[in-house]
A and B are shown apart, each in its own frame.
Chain A
C-alpha cells in the first residue's frame, strides 16, 4: 500500500516538475556542449527572446485549461503592433500606445469569446480561426503591407530597455505570470476555468457562469497578445503587419510542453513558463551549435510530440485499473 502511495506521489511530482527537470537537464547539457551558453549575457538573451512567446502562452494556457484553443493570438499581436505604432506616429504618448495595444488585444479576445459562446459555435477553433484571418487582414489593410518604424523611446523601453540590469520584457513576463498564477489558483473565476475544462456540463449544473468565464478566458488571451505586441514592437522599433505570424502555434506548443492537457482541466503558470523557456533554450542552444534555423524547426516539432508522448506514458502508468 505504501509502495502504491509513494509511486503516486512520485507520479504527481513528475507531472509537476517534469518539465522543469527537462529544462535543467537541457541547460546542463548545453553548458557542456558550448562554452558560451552559461554566460549571464546569453541567459538574459534567452529570456528576452522567450518573452513574447511566454506572454502569448500565458493567455493560451487559460484558454487550454477550459479545453479550448486560441488560434488568433499571433494575428491579434500583429494588429495590436500596427495600431499602437500608428497611434504613436500620430503623436500619441507612449502610455496611450501601450493602453491601445492592451485594450485592442483584450477587445478582440472578447469578440472571440462572444462569438464562441453567444453564437454557440461548435468549437473555439472556428471563431479564433476566423479572427486569425480577420485580424491579420486588417493589419495588412491598414498599413498597406508596410512596417511603421521609428517609435518613441518611452514605448521602445518595454521591448529593449532594462530595469536594474533586468530586461524590461522579462519584468513584464514575471508580472503577468504572478497575476495569472494568483488568478488561476486563488480566485473562484480561476477555479471555474478548471471546472469548465474538467466537465463543462457539470460546471453549468453547479451554477458556474460558463459563458462569462469563457469570455473572460478569451479576453485574457487577447490581452496577453496585446502585451506581446508592446514587447515585440518595442524591441523591433517597428509595428509591422506580419508580426507574430505562426506565433499561435508556438504558444500552444509551450503550453503543452509545460504539462497542460489538451482535454482541459489541467495546467499551471509555472509549467507554461518552463515550456516557453524550453523552446527558447532549445533554439538558443541550436544557434550556438550552428544548427541551421531550418533544422531547429524540425527539432522543436519532435520535442512537442515527445513531450506529450511522455505525458501519455506517465498517465497510463499512473492510471492503473
Chain B
C-alpha cells in the first residue's frame, strides 16, 4: 500500500465546550478521489478547515507525505500543496480569469516597480485552462463566466499553485447536470496528473460517479471509511443518518386531475430570461419545473412573484385576471416564494426566529408580542422545528430548520400558491425527507406547489406533472407516468422528445 499523501490522526476539536470532532482519523492517498460525506454539522467543514490550516485542532496530528506538518497555517498549507475550492467561489469578478488564477503571485519583471507581465499571465492561464479540457478566454472578466467556468478558474488556480491535494466543497451545488458532468472530467484529469481530490457532497450519486474511496462522518466521529466498491448506497446512507434510510418520497395523494385551477399563466416573457411561458396549476397539485441551470426557472418564479420584471404575459388566480408588480401584490394574492438562496434572499440571518416567521403576515401598525409568539410557537410545533429558542437568531439553526422557518412564514401568511426554488439545497439527508413530507402536506391542504429543483430525482419523486424548460422556453410537459430521468433530460438539453 502506498503511503498516504495526507494523514490526520486522532483529530479533536470543540467549539465553546461542544465537541465538533472526536478522535477522527482520515487518510488521503496520492492521486485518489476521496469522497467525504455526512449530514450538516457532522464535522466535514471543520475537518477540512483544519487540513487547510484555517482552524487549529485541539488535539491530534497531521502528517504530509509521512512527515509531521507541524503548525499549519493557511499559507503553509498552500505552500505544501493543499488547495481549497470553496462552495462560495472566491473570485474577484472584475479581474480577468487569468489574473484571478495568478492572484497573489503575479509573474512580474524584477525591480522595484514589479511591472506585471500580462502576456505571460494570460498565456500560462490559457494553458492551465486548456489542460483542464475547457478552453476559456483568460482575458474575460471572471464575473462574466458561468458558475461552472468560475469553478474551473479556481481549480486552475490550484494547479498554478502546484497543488497536490484539491479540496472541493459541494462543487456541483450550483451546477447543471451537464456542467457537473464536465466537472467530473476535470477531476479525472486532475487524477491523471497525480493530484488527489477530497470531494465533499450531499449527492451520494456523485460519490459513485467520481470517488474511489469514501469516508463518512457522523456527529464528529468517523463512522466508516472504505473503497466505494465495497460500500453500497444503502449502507452509505445508514452510516450517515445512523439508521436505515428513510422512505425518501412520501406517496402522492389522489391525483388532483379535476381540481379547481389556482393559477394560470399565459405568454409570460422577459427578454433574455424566458419566452412565452404558458401553464396552469391546480389545487392540490405539485408541478415540477425541471431544466438545466440557466434555463430560466429561477427567473420565471421571481417574475411570477413580482420580484423581477416581465415584458409580456397574463396571469389568472382562481380564474380572475390579476396584475402583479411587486412581491406585495403577489403576497396579497396568496402567493409565496421560497427562494433558492436562503442566506441572501430567504432569511434575516441575525434576527430572532420569531421575527423571521411573522415577517410576511404581521402587517398592522402595532407589534402584538403575545399574539406573534403564540402563532410562531404553533407553527414551530406543527413543523417540528428544532431550535434552541424562538428568540435565538435564525442563523444558529441548521439548514433544514432554517428552511422550516421560511415555510412556517408562508403557512402563517395563509399562502395558497407556493413557488419553491431548490427547497432542499444544502440540507442534509434526514432533514430532506422531512421537507419532502411538508411539501406533500402543502398539496394535501389544497395549496398548489411549483417545485424547481436541480436534483432530478426530487422533481420526479414529488411532482404530479413535470414541465421541462430549455433556454427560457417550455420544452415539454410530462405527466407522472411518462416522466423518467431520460425523458426529462432529453427535453432539458433540447433534444427531440
Residues in A lying within 8 Å of B, measured CB to CB? 1, 3-4, 7, 185-191, 194-195, 198-199, 201-209, 265-266, 320-321
Contact A198 B327 (CB under 8 A): no
**Cα distance A202–B394 when bound, in Å?**
13
Complex contacts, B17 vs chain A, CB 8 Å: 1, 3-4
Contact A205 B348 (CB under 8 A): no
Complex contacts, B80 vs chain A, CB 8 Å: none
8 shortest interchain CB distances as A-B pairs: A198-B348, A207-B331, A206-B360, A206-B359, A320-B15, A4-B16, A321-B15, A207-B328
Can you give 28 contacting A-B residue pairs, CB < 8 Å? A3-B16, A7-B16, A187-B365, A188-B363, A188-B365, A188-B367, A190-B367, A194-B355, A195-B359, A198-B348, A198-B349, A198-B350, A198-B351, A199-B344, A199-B345, A201-B344, A202-B345, A202-B347, A202-B359, A205-B345, A206-B359, A207-B328, A207-B332, A207-B360, A265-B351, A266-B350, A320-B15, A321-B15
**Cα distance A188–B359 when bound, in Å?**
9
Pick from B327, B328, B359, B366: contact of A186, CB below 8 A. Answer: B366
Complex contacts, A7 vs chain B, CB 8 Å: 16
Chain B contributes a number of interface residues (CB within 8 A of A) equal to: 32
Contact B18 A204 (CB under 8 A): no
Contact B351 A187 (CB under 8 A): no
Distance (whole angstroms) from the CB of B359 to the closest CB of chain A: 4
**Cα distance A133–B360 when bound, in Å?**
39
**B345 nearest in chain A by CB position:** A201
Distance (whole angstroms) from the CB of B342 to the closest CB of chain A: 9
- Main DSSP-derived SS at the A contact region: helix
Distance (whole angstroms) from the CB of A206 to the closest CB of chain B: 4
Within 8 A of A (CB), among B321-380: 327-328, 331-332, 337, 339, 344-351, 355, 359-360, 362-367
Pick from A185, A208, A266, A320: contact of B359, CB below 8 A. Answer: A208
Query: Counting CB contacts under 8 A, is B305 at the interface?
Result: yes
Contact A209 B348 (CB under 8 A): no
> Given the known A-B contacts A194-B351, A206-B409, A266-B350, are A1 and B18 also in contact in the complex, defined by CB atoms under 8 Å?
yes
Query: Counting CB contacts under 8 A, is B298 at the interface?
Result: no
Complex contacts, B363 vs chain A, CB 8 Å: 188, 207
**Cα distance A95–B331 when bound, in Å?**
44
**B351 nearest in chain A by CB position:** A198
Contact A191 B355 (CB under 8 A): yes
Pick from A4, A206, A320, A321: contact of B327, CB below 8 A. Answer: A206
Complex contacts, B359 vs chain A, CB 8 Å: 195, 202-203, 206, 208
Contact A205 B307 (CB under 8 A): yes
